[in-house]
Amino acid sequence: MKRSIITMMAAGLLFLATACQKEFLQKPDTTGTTTVETVFSTRVGVESALANAYRSSLGQGLWPDGSINNGTLPGISGEASYGESWMSLSIFINSGFTPAGWDSRPAQSPDNFFTNFSAIRKCFIVLENVDEAVDMDNAAKAIVKAEMKGLIAYRYLGLFIRYGGVPLVTKALESTDDLNIPRASLQSTLDHILSLANEAYTGLPDSWESKYAGRLTRGAALAIKARALTFAARPLFNSAEPYLASPADSVISFKSYNAQRWVDAIQANEAVLTWAGQFGYAMIDTDNPLDDYGTATSLPNNAEVLLAFKYNVPGDKFFRFYNPAVNGERYLIDNYGLPTNFLENYYKADGTDQQWPGAGESNARPFSDYLARMNQLEPRFLADNMPHTMDARNNAGDNTWTYRVAGKGGNKGPSGRGRGAAVATKFYYKAGTRNWFEFPLFRIPEFYLSLAEAYNETDNPGAALQNLNKVHERAGLPALAGTDKQALRKTIQREWAIEFFYENRRFFDVRHWKLENIGNGVLGGPVRELQFTIPGSDNLSASSYTNYYDQVVYTAYWDPKMFLLPIPQAEIDKGILVQNPGY
């Protein structure tokens, strides 16, 4: 890893002045010449740098991180259509990922490889300089150091999931340091994450005063460890053979299958839930499924969220991309609907599968059938989506969330693209006119589903079902009972898809599961959207619709090389880093 990475990382301290006023730590009013010495001489300066480190580290994969030009990961995860045809998501849909520079970014990829190391550097700058603050005691300084170790672990976790083994930086590098750092093995990268998470756990508190909500706790450190071990156990890495042949396969595979990795994942996820039970965190379950799930995914600082990205900048594109109809993002308003491929994951409220029409006008059904079937779906669908011509259930009775205000009409058949089966409304349950939300990074259901997955892989279907049903029954659905290992695996994967819709999980989950149909309707292959016959002029009113049917509207590109992301070619050309296979 040569100087171009370090040049970009060195800018970290210069971004202190951009710390957001509405983050959990307020940006102080600083003027004049800013140096490391002046910034870290006082608590105020430390807290400014601390807030900036949080924002940079936890924004991974989100709009503020600068990785995707226009749009969100759901648009290339099969959870939403991809927006306008000229947007960056369209490039990924049509031609996939490449290591070549593109659109002022280092690679045609939904992640900026260099931004990761810039964030890590910001954390090291804080960690290495907090001792200079004259008005902080040693205990407070020790907590800040633990926070930085946790944030570095979180960022390396994201790198591990996206790239495999990566260069391991252990300090704020200077130009005089040896910058030729090769990629570490997959095992070494995992060990580094676990070591940092363990060190963070030792120094972090179990809770914070409410004014510091959003800072890392011991529970967050345990969550980082649990997610790392869960991904380490999944088939993409936990295999005797890498997904593609590589001259350096140790950076993309453990080169062996080891059932102990699933056991390690069980222990780590159980540890999260044990800690959560002791310190007031739990899955919200009051036997009101719509309200419980909606609250868990939308209400800031609720008891189900261990860590969230607190970026409350009114009007920012981050929020406009996640809910463009209500928040007014013109680039996605008409083209971010729910594909039928994903719609089919949702259960009916009675726990059975819904039946949707086939492709083509010959399979058309009356529009009244569409409305009836949408109303039959489970509460999580209704909390997260607004079917065409129906007011949003997530803000019932609020004019802002009526279809006439927030809707844009369905696809006009036979080949409309973009508006799909419904409009996403996730993260805004009972939000009213509030246009921002706090993106949940760790929610309690993750650890139940990780346990379900791990127990199933270790041939303990009883424990798998027990953990799976914690999540499934919270949604108001009857308990699941099947114990066949292959069938239960698919059922657990389906639950992941529904529960974590739009939470930046599916893009990675389906890759690390190595789904056999990943290129045939999941991430790649034919993508279907519902089509509507709308002879009337008012496409916001149900009376203008006559029937509906399904149709393939585009084909998404898939290549097995895309199981992991490419490292920018300009960095590969320096001869230090090895590229992921296929690129």
Cα atoms in the 13 Å half-sphere on the side-chain side of 169: 28
Summarize pLDDT for 15-74 with one digit per residue, the tens: 333 333 233 333 334 445 668 889 999 999 999 999 999 999 999 999 888 778 788 999
DSSP string of 447-472, one letter each residue: HHHHHHHHHHHTT-HHHHHHHHHHHH
Residue 567 has pLDDT above 90, yes or no: yes
Torsions phi, psi for 234 (to 5 deg)? -70, 160
Note the pLDDT tens digit of each residue in 210-221: 999 999 999 999
3-state SS record for 321-344:
HHCHHHHCCCCCCCCCCECHHHHC
Give the type of residue at 273: L
Query: In this structure, is the dihedral angle defined by the CA atoms of residues 565, 91, 338 and 360, taken in order, positive or negative?
Result: negative
Mean pLDDT of 130-152: 98
Q: Give the relative orientation of helices 260-278 and 218-233 as an angle to the nearest 10 degrees.
A: 160
Strand 525-533 relative to strand 365-366, pairing:
unpaired
Q: Which two tokens stand for residue 25?
A: 């730590």
Instruction: Output 17 or 342, whichever has higher pLDDT.
Output: 342
471: its two tokens: 């999540």
Q: In the predicted model, what is the mean pLDDT of residues 344-348? A: 99
Q: What is the pLDDT of residue 24?
A: 32
Residue 277, burial from CB neighbour count under 10 angstroms (0-12, 13-18, 19+): exposed
Under 8 Å between Cβ of 402 and 391: yes
- 206 has pLDDT over 70: yes
- pLDDT tens, residue by residue, 528-542: 999 999 998 899 999
Nearest to 472 by CA among 454, 455, 496: 496
Query: What residues contact 96, with CB distance under 8 A and at least 6 apart?
Result: 108, 557, 558, 559, 561, 562
Tell me the mean pLDDT in the region 392-419. Answer: 96
Torsion angle (degrees, nearest 10) of CA 137, 138, 140, 146: 160
Q: What is the pLDDT of residue 395?
A: 97
Indicate the residue type of 144: V
Please state, in angstroms and rounded to a whole number, the distance separating the CA atoms of residues 15 and 12.
Answer: 6
In the chain, what are the helix, strand and coil shares in percent, each to the nearest 5? 45, 10, 45
Which domains, from first to last, does the chain contain?
Answer: 3-67+112-281 (1.25.40.390), 444-499 (no CATH)
pLDDT at 29: 41
- Confidence (pLDDT) at 11: 37
* Res 296 pLDDT > 50: yes
| Cβ neighbours, 10 Å, residue 578 | 18
Q: Which helix (H) or strand (E) holds 153?
A: helix 138-163
User: Does the CA dihedral 285-289-293-294 come out positive or negative?
Assistant: negative
Q: What is the pLDDT of residues 361-391, one digit of tens each?
A: 999 999 999 999 999 999 999 999 999 999 9
Mean pLDDT of 125-135: 97
pLDDT at 1: 52
The pLDDT of 130-141, averaged and rounded, is: 98
pLDDT at 138 over 60: yes
Q: Is the peptide bond before 247 cis (omega within 30 degrees of 0)?
A: no
Report the alpha-carbon distance of residue 310 to residue 438 in Å, rounded. 5
Residue type, 8: M
Cα gap 338→411, rounded to integer Å:
11
Q: Identify the helix (H) or strand (E) that includes residue 532.
A: strand 525-533
Token readout for 166 is 């990566």
Residue in 308, 547, 288 with CA at minimum distance from that of residue 410:
547
In this prediction, residue 328 carries a pLDDT of 82
Residue 161 confidence class, pLDDT cut points 50, 70, 90:
very high
**Gap between the Cα atoms of 27 and 42, Å rounded:** 13
pLDDT tens digits, residue range 215-251?
999 999 999 999 999 999 999 999 999 999 999 999 9
Instruction: Indicate the average pLDDT of the chain.
Output: 93
**C-alpha span between 294 and 277 (Å, rounded):** 21
Q: Give the CA distances from residue 23 to residues 55, 249, 313, 353, 437, in Å, rounded to whole numbers and listed in that order.
A: 8, 41, 8, 42, 12
From the list 446, 467, 575, 417, the residue with the least C-alpha distance to 509 is: 446
By residue count, the chain amounts to: 583
Q: The tokens 């924004």 sit on which residue? A: 59
Segment 331-348 shows an average pLDDT of 92
Q: What is the CA radius of gyration of the chain?
A: 24
Rounded Cα distance, 127 and 144, in Å:
7
Which token pair is 476?
């108001």
In this prediction, residues 160-168 reach a mean pLDDT of 99
CB 167 within 8 A of CB 184: yes
